[in-house]
A = this chain, B = another copy of it.
Amino acid sequence: MNKSKQPTIIDVASEAGVSIATVSNVINRRKVPMAQETIRKVEAAIVRLGYRRNVMATNLSRRRSYELGLIIPHFGGYYGRFAESLEQKVHRFGYHLSVFSAAGMDAEIEQRHLEHLLQRRVDGLVSHGLAMSMQSTQQLVGVGTPLVIFNGWGWPGEIVQLAVNLDFAKASVEAVQYFLRSGCQSVIYVGKRNGMGANDQRIQGFLAGLGDSAESTVHALLDVGELGIAGTLDEALRLSGESRPIGIYTFNDALALEILALCHERGVHVPEDVHLIGMDNELYSRASYPAITSFDMPVDLQTSLVAAFLMKQIGEPLDEESAALLEEHLPRVQGHELLIDLDMIVRKSTMA
- B63, B75, B84, B291: the one within 8 Å of A84 (CB): B75
Asked if A149 is at the interface (CB within 8 A of a chain B CB), the reply is: no
Residues 99 to 125 of chain A near chain B (Cβ within 8 Å)? 99-101, 103, 115-116, 118-121
Asked if A288 is at the interface (CB within 8 A of a chain B CB), the reply is: yes
Residues 245 to 275 of chain A near chain B (Cβ within 8 Å)? 254, 257-258, 260-261, 264
* Bound CA–CA A103/B80 (angstroms): 11
* Chain B residue contacts of A97, Cβ below 8 A: 100
Residues 14 to 68 of chain A near chain B (Cβ within 8 Å)? 50, 52-57, 59-60, 63-65
Would you give the shortest CB distance from A81 to chain B, in whole angstroms?
8
* Chain B residue contacts of A55, Cβ below 8 A: 116, 119-121
- B4, B60, B63: the one within 8 Å of A4 (CB): B63
Interface string of A71-82 (1 = CB under 8 A from B): 000111101110
* Bound CA–CA A119/B8 (angstroms): 12
Interface pair A287/B65, CB less than 8 Å apart: no
Would you give the shortest CB distance from A252 to chain B, in whole angstroms?
11
Interface string of A296-335 (1 = CB under 8 A from B): 0000000000000000000000000000000000000000
* Chain B residue contacts of A6, Cβ below 8 A: 121, 144
For the complex, count residues of A whose C-beta is within 8 A of B: 59
* Bound CA–CA A64/B258 (angstroms): 46
* Chain B residue contacts of A144, Cβ below 8 A: 1-3, 5-6
* Chain B residue contacts of A143, Cβ below 8 A: 1, 5
Residues 137 to 159 of chain A near chain B (Cβ within 8 Å)? 142-144, 146
* Chain B residue contacts of A75, Cβ below 8 A: 75-76, 79-81, 83-84, 99
* Chain B residue contacts of A79, Cβ below 8 A: 75
* Bound CA–CA A87/B109 (angstroms): 11
* Bound CA–CA A227/B74 (angstroms): 33
* Chain B residue contacts of A50, Cβ below 8 A: 142
- B5, B52, B60, B286: the one within 8 Å of A119 (CB): B52
Residues 216 to 257 of chain A near chain B (Cβ within 8 Å)? 254, 257
* Bound CA–CA A342/B87 (angstroms): 32
What are 16 contact pairs spanning A and B, CB under 8 A?
A2-B144, A3-B63, A5-B144, A50-B142, A52-B119, A54-B60, A54-B119, A55-B119, A56-B65, A60-B60, A74-B84, A76-B80, A76-B81, A83-B101, A99-B99, A254-B283
